Amino acid sequence: MLLNYLKIALRNLWKHKTFALVNVIGMSVAFASCLLLFLTAWNQLSFDDFQVNRDQLYMVYEQSGPTNKSGAMPAPLTPALRKELPEIKHATRIVSGGRLVQYRNQEFDKNIQYVDPDFFAMFSFPIRKGNPATALNSLSNVVISEKTAEALFGKTDPIGKTLLLRQEEVWKPFVVSGVIADAPENSSIRFDILARFEAYPEYQPNKDQWDNQFHTVYVQVDPKATEAALKQRLRPFVAKYYANSILNLKRDGGQPDENGDLTSLRLLPFRDLHFDTEIGGGNNSPIKRSYPILLLVVAGFIVLIACINFINLSTARSMTRSREVGMRKVLGALKQQLVLQFWGEAFILCLIALVLGGLLAVSLLSQFNAIFRSQTSFDDVFTPGLLLSMTAVFVFITFVAGGYPALFVSRLNTTQILKGKVSLGKTGAVRNTLLIVQFAIATFLIGCTMIAWQQVTFLRNMPLGYNESQVVSIPVGDRINGRQALNLFRDKLVQQSNVLSVTGAYKNFGRGLDGSTFISIVGFDHKNRTVRSHWQPVDYDYLKTLDIKLLAGRDFSRQYATDTTTSVIINETMAKQLGEKNPVGTLLNVDENAPPMQVIGVVKDYHHESLKKTIQPNTLLISHDWPIAYILVKIAPNNVPATMATLKKAWEEVAPTSEFQGSFLDENTNRQYQSEERMSKMFISAAVIAILLSCMGLFAIAVMMMAQRTKEIGVRKVLGASVGSIVALLSKDFLKLVLVAIVIATPVAWWMMAQWLEEYAFKITIEWWVFALAGLLAILIALATVSFQSIKAALTNPVTSLRSE
């Protein structure tokens, strides 16, 4: 019997090729899109799932006042936590320290992290060779990853081998005491080499300093201890060890948080680390949890539209098979047999679409990863959890897409069928509702796409207060002294007419090709209150190179010896924070053990951070105690390729072992908005797919509806109706549904995008015309889809139409 059902299903699908083709194409595209989006979301949502102790792991962070958060901790904090809080089972400090490794006179670029020995007990990175309990007992020991072991030592056993790590421009020997498994791609903590935290160069001068915060702290809490109880225990701990900080905040009029605390230590669950964009992320760029959830929602929208097409077409086509159903019922077919047969046809179509969709997804994977800058892979497909989830989704889709039409057909009245008096009845209302849902989703996606694109364009085009189009940023790297490289590079380019000026800085603008981004904030007392400022060590010609406007005072000059020791330039926001009427000449006691620093100039505010943030106080200084990490070169706008080639050649002469990674500042700043760009591209792609699928379904429904109204159209033409009036009559019902969809989608899209824009300090204003345009696009697309078939029906010879009836 099942074999006969299969034969009948295949014959019916072959007989109605248009119906089958529309459904297969629609479902294939939906399955391919859903699969790619689902895998991308799965990769993000499964971050750190491999960590066995994940539910007991927390990142410690500090909160001052209602909103100020910092994940940087002082060196003595972890020993104090171990001493005061028995609920903490393990704790480790983690800090990144350089990237250069040397073995047998060959240099390697590796991710070096300094940790405490508890690291191996807390995190699920198995030790392949060596003893995790003793691997970092010595300050001269290191544990290396499997890939690093292979890169440095090949097939040779690395245990006991000596390698060199570059620390503060000095090569120091370390002995390999263990080999650890490589960190998975979806790990928030990544490393190539692990060394003892006490071996970090900055540890000794800061081991007892509570006011120098430079590393992260992770703790593992005893399973018997509750998070709420531990939070309560942290309050007296803060009162004891942060007493001076609390006094300073009281003196400066600091605002308490929701618990009444001026400053507090809090715990960020490790499971949320990857999705915390303020202090989280680990070694990966953090994203909001809403991003992968949004991917799943969009995937669901696309599949829903495809299912609606399937249901509408199946229901409409059932009218052409009504006599078949009637005859089967007369011959004794049971209701469940009819349901099984029609659901079986739906299952076959969905199965074919799934196979084709899978092949389509595989072929588009590389382009998908390139467009959305993702690391989606099909390796995860065969993991039990994901495979079970995908199977469940597929079965659900087949039941939704094929179940309703099958039940509808099985309930048709046999007598009415054989008399030829079957009508769609309530099915028309269901069809209209589903069409409204389709176009509501499409309109929603169009509106969201337009707003997201407007915001990204706004961020890219907003004046930043400095020259971003003519300035090239070159990361120095760890293979050469930054200040030495700057001086040599400047000398190499002094005769180049296309090079207008050269300077250096400790921090970059945006995110360069080296992928690094960091900030440095310094706090000090001024007139009995605490002042905090971003700290930007620079070199001569910084303002000139970047075209930053000087409002008062002067620029750094080689004619003043004190400019390299005790002079600073501040921005407008910093000047307001100092509260000085004329800030030029103001003395700042930044360090009690050093002479005060004098403000020699005030510059106009410029955006030294992402536009997601307001402009913060910023201080420029020239100090040989800080490294030069980036060289900035202002070039002439003409013949840019030749100038870039000149810069590359000069760099290769100055630093032959370092890769040239020069990029324009506008490129760097644009990289700050990659998540927004991905979101806008995702919406655009989803909107296009949703519109195409909706149009396919609408077109097929229009074909069937016109076929059912053939006699009516013929009669109207005989009675003198014009082609235009007939087209308007046939199209208006569909357009009414689209208008209802627009009314439903507009407020939802408006509210959602308004919430999204709240993340930005600088943002666009949502205008009414955006949704008017989105609605107009939806109407025009629907009209174009329906009108083609309407015109065709209206132009048909009425004699032919009436004869066919």
In a domain, 692, yes or no: no
Query: Does the structure show a pLDDT above 80 at 380?
Result: no
Range of lowest pLDDT (345-359, 509-523, 572-586): 509-523
pLDDT score for 704? 65
Task: Provide the 8-state DSSP code for 188.
Answer: S
**Distance in angstroms (rounded) separating the CA atoms of residues 388 and 380:** 12
Task: Report the candidate in 628, 621, 624 with the shortest Cα–Cα distance to residue 482.
Answer: 628
Task: Report the candidate in 263, 265, 241, 264 with the shortest Cα–Cα distance to residue 252.
Answer: 263
CB 103 within 8 A of CB 153: yes
In a domain, 757, yes or no: no
Query: Does the structure show a pLDDT above 80 at 653?
Result: yes
Q: Return the half-sphere exposure (C-beta side, CA atoms, 13 A cut-off) of residue 680.
A: 14
Q: Return the half-sphere exposure (C-beta side, CA atoms, 13 A cut-off) of residue 613.
A: 14
What global pTM score does this model have? 0.74
CA distances from 228 to 217, 233, 273, 323 (A): 19, 9, 19, 68
- Average pLDDT of span 769-797: 77
Task: Report the candidate in 77, 109, 85 with the shortest Cα–Cα distance to residue 215.
Answer: 77
Structure tokens at 473: 């940023």
Split at pLDDT 50, 70, 90, the class of 4 is low
Residue 604: partners with Cβ closer than 8 Å, 6 or more residues away = 465, 548, 549, 550, 551, 571, 572
Instruction: Look at 365 and 488; give whichever has higher pLDDT.
Output: 488
| 174 & 67 share domain | yes
Share of the chain above pLDDT 90, in %: 23
Amino acid at 651: W
| 35 & 100 share domain | no
CB 765 within 8 A of CB 753: no
In a domain, 761, yes or no: no
Query: Does the structure show a pLDDT above 90 at 516?
Result: no
In a domain, 766, yes or no: no
Domain hosting 307: range is: 1-47+289-423
| 489 & 575 share domain | yes
pLDDT, tens only, 450-480: 888 888 888 888 888 888 888 999 888 777 8
SS3 758: coil
| 263 & 302 share domain | no
Task: Report the candidate in 60, 90, 85, 64 with the shortest Cα–Cα distance to residue 74.
Answer: 60
CB burial string 626-659: b at 16+ within 10 A, e below: bbbbbbbbbbeeeeeeebbebbeebbeebbeebe
User: What are residue 213's DSSP bridge partners?
Assistant: 74
- Average pLDDT of span 629-634: 91
pLDDT score for 79? 94
**Distance in angstroms (rounded) separating the CA atoms of residues 84 and 701:** 72
The last residue of a domain, from among 423, 454, 483: 423
| 356 & 498 share domain | no
* Nearest 10 degrees: Cα torsion 242, 247, 250, 255: -10
**Distance in angstroms (rounded) separating the CA atoms of residues 666 and 671:** 9
Pairing of strands 112-115, 193-196: parallel
In a domain, 364, yes or no: yes
Query: Does the structure show a pLDDT above 90 at 159?
Result: yes
pLDDT score for 466? 87
CB 442 within 8 A of CB 684: no
CB burial string 692-714: b at 16+ within 10 A, e below: bbbbbbbbbbbbbbbeebbebbb
* C-beta neighbour count of 502 within 10 angstroms: 27
| 28 & 72 share domain | no
Amino acid at 158: P
pLDDT score for 425? 47
Pick left, alpha or beta for residue 253 (phi over 0 → left; psi -120 to 50 → alpha; otherwise beta). Answer: left
pLDDT score for 803? 55
Instruction: Look at 67 and 783; give whichever has higher pLDDT.
Output: 783
Query: Does the structure show a pLDDT above 90 at 314?
Result: no
Amino acid at 482: G
- Average pLDDT of span 321-336: 61
| 188 & 220 share domain | yes
Split at pLDDT 50, 70, 90, the class of 253 is low
CB 550 within 8 A of CB 603: yes
Q: Which DSSP string corresponds to 387-414? A: HHHHHHHHHHHHHHHHHHHHHHHHTS-H
For CA atoms 727, 730, 731, 735, the dihedral sign is positive
**Mean pLDDT score of the chain:** 82
* C-beta neighbour count of 383 within 10 angstroms: 12
C-alpha 317 chain-centroid distance:
43
Instruction: Look at 387 and 501; give whichever has higher pLDDT.
Output: 501
* C-beta neighbour count of 154 within 10 angstroms: 8
| 238 & 298 share domain | no
Burial class (CB within 10 angstroms; exposed 0-12, middle 13-18, buried 19+) of 184:
middle
Could you give the number of structural domains in the chain?
3
Share of the chain above pLDDT 70, in %: 82
CB 21 within 8 A of CB 319: no
- Helices 17-45 and 290-318 cross at an angle (nearest 10°) of 160
| 59 & 36 share domain | no
**Distance in angstroms (rounded) separating the CA atoms of residues 169 and 141:** 20
In a domain, 720, yes or no: no
| 417 & 523 share domain | no
In a domain, 689, yes or no: no
Structure tokens at 203: 């540890």
Residue 544: partners with Cβ closer than 8 Å, 6 or more residues away = 501, 503, 555, 634
Residue with tokens 């960091």: 518
The last residue of a domain, from among 673, 704, 724: 673
Radius of gyration (C-alpha) of the chain in whole angstroms: 34
Helix H or strand E encompassing 568? strand 567-571
SS3 700: helix
| 78 & 179 share domain | yes
**Distance in angstroms (rounded) separating the CA atoms of residues 387 and 381:** 6
pLDDT, tens only, 47-103: 888 999 999 999 999 888 777 788 888 899 999 999 999 999 999 999 988 778 989
Instruction: Look at 97 and 515; give whichever has higher pLDDT.
Output: 97
Query: Does the structure show a pLDDT above 80 at 279?
Result: no
Amino acid at 484: Q
* C-beta neighbour count of 313 within 10 angstroms: 26
| 123 & 153 share domain | yes
In a domain, 714, yes or no: no
The last residue of a domain, from among 640, 673, 706: 673
Split at pLDDT 50, 70, 90, the class of 7 is low
Q: Return the half-sphere exposure (C-beta side, CA atoms, 13 A cut-off) of residue 455.
A: 29
Residue 226: partners with Cβ closer than 8 Å, 6 or more residues away = none
**Distance in angstroms (rounded) separating the CA atoms of residues 170 and 326:** 90
CB 606 within 8 A of CB 598: no
pLDDT, tens only, 571-589: 999 999 998 888 999 999 8
CB 480 within 8 A of CB 707: no
